[in-house]
Amino acid sequence: NAGVTQTPKFRILKIGQSMTLQCAQDMNHNYMYWYRQDPGMGLKLIYYSVGAGITDKGEVPNGYNVSRSTTEDFPLRLELAAPSQTSVYFCASRLDLSRRQFFGPGTRLTVL
Amino acid sequence: AQTVTQSQPEMSVQEAETVTLSCTYDTSESDYYLFWYKQPPSRQMILVIRQEAYKQQNATENRFSVNFQKAAKSFSLKISDSQLGDAAMYFCAYRGLSNTGNQFYFGTGTSLTVIP
């Protein structure tokens, strides 16, 4: 298994640009998550999904959108990038609430 | 919302010695999970240890153990026989079991340096 994969690893955006951060897992996990980690801080939950077609907001959802059309993929969309969205983004997944979370390697995003 | 506090931004330990990282949390829930995650320079988040609040026995994973004090809402991590590979950021995290059971709350982290 490849586990949780994220692309790209790095990206620089200009203010107002849009982009999609990709996340995929091949473990048939139901639950998937997007977090952001700001410098010197812990992770904050942006959005999560409990299964294909079901998504919900986390702690810091503003400025982001997600979709979950398949079990494997959980892309995160930034529509109008802002400097405040400069962060490292982590995707994670787990089979169910009793199992551990598996994290992807992260995407470092800079908005200038 | 639940809060998780790590009051030690940085810690250092001599190789082969023992170090304890502190974590406190605030919650009104009676049942929940607590976690310690390790984040090395590669940025990968790695689960170190997990504790279920309903279990009185402290969790142990090889050289890693916790001191879980439910009444005091304290959850410290002890690393014994520290190794150079233990150098990383360590995050304490909380997850409830209510309808917010999908929400993890993380502390701000403790940067651990291991001195050879």
Domain-by-domain residue ranges, chain A? 4-111
A90 with B45: Cβ contact below 8 A: yes
Can you tell me the mean pLDDT for A67-92? 95
Task: List CB contacts (< 8 A) between B50 and chain A.
Answer: 100
What's the CATH fold of domain A4-111?
Immunoglobulin-like (2.60.40)
Whether B96 and chain A come into contact, CB under 8 Å, resolves to no
Can you tell me the mean pLDDT for B84-108? 83
Residue in A with minimal Cα distance to B95: A97
A42 with B108: Cβ contact below 8 A: yes
Alpha-carbon distances, residue A5 vs A17, A28, B87, B113 (angstroms) = 23, 13, 24, 29
| pLDDT recorded at residue A5 | 95
CATH code, residues B3-115: 2.60.40.10
| pLDDT recorded at residue A84 | 95
Instruction: Name the residue ranges covered by the structural domains of chain B.
Output: 3-115
| pLDDT recorded at residue B99 | 54
Residue that has been written with the tokens 């890693």 in this structure: B64
Residue A73 carries which DSSP code?
B
| pLDDT recorded at residue B44 | 81
Q: Are B25 and B32 in contact (CB under 8 A)?
A: no
A43 with B44: Cβ contact below 8 A: no
Q: Are B48 and B61 in contact (CB under 8 A)?
A: yes
Residue predicted with more confidence, A21 or B45: A21
Q: Are B34 and B75 in contact (CB under 8 A)?
A: yes
